[in-house]
Amino acid sequence: MFESILTWVATLDFWSWWILGLVLVILEVFAPSTVFLWLGIAAGLVGVVAWLFPQMRWEYEWILFAIIAVVSIIISRRFFVKNPGVEDNPTLNQRGAQYIGRQFTLTEAIRNGRGKIHVDDSQWAVEGPDLEAGDSVKVTGVDGTLLIVEAITKK
């Protein structure tokens, strides 16, 4: 069994490296972590080297694959730590934070600092100065599931 695997590994040509690279890049789509991406790119590069130097021994191809894979993963990790990118929706999983700056009408008066507003399809508890139901408020912050509001002064 081991000999058959070794024979298969020793007979990899450039097409095999390119197919392995493609499979690894496709695998990245289903397991997004960027590790498979760099492994796939490394396999593709080894395929190019195997195409340019068809007499290269299989041991050197695998060593080259390992070196390119490790170096590319290390470089990408360092790059993404220094350049984390910009999130297109930083409050995606912070529903209350999405309402900061928006204006709403109180559905229940704020008494002793607590009241309620209707937001989209749900009721939210609010904290702020005592106000009457129907008054307009602006969300200024969030404390867990409690929205912090202030009165909107009419000009």
5-34 pLDDT tens trace: 777 767 778 888 999 999 999 999 888 777
Q: What per-residue confidence (pLDDT) applies to 155?
A: 52
Would you call 37 helix, strand, or coil by DSSP? helix
What domains are defined for the chain? 2-82 (no CATH), 96-151 (2.40.50.140)
- Write phi, then psi, for 128 (nearest 5 degrees): 175, -170
Which two structure tokens, joined as six digits, stand for 95?
């529903």
CA separation, residue 46 to residues 19, 24, 119, 147 (Å) = 11, 14, 56, 56
Mean of pLDDT over the chain: 88
Q: Would you place residue 137 in the very low, low, confident or very high pLDDT band (cuts 50, 70, 90)?
A: very high
SS (H, E, C) 72-106: HHHHHHHHHHHCCCCCCCCCCCCCHHHHCCCEEEE
Which two structure tokens, joined as six digits, stand for 103?
């204006």
State how far the Cα of 135 lies from the Cα of 109, in Å rounded to an integer: 8
Contacts of 29 (CB under 8 A, 6+ apart): none
What pTM did the predictor assign?
0.54
State how far the Cα of 126 lies from the Cα of 139, in Å rounded to an integer: 9
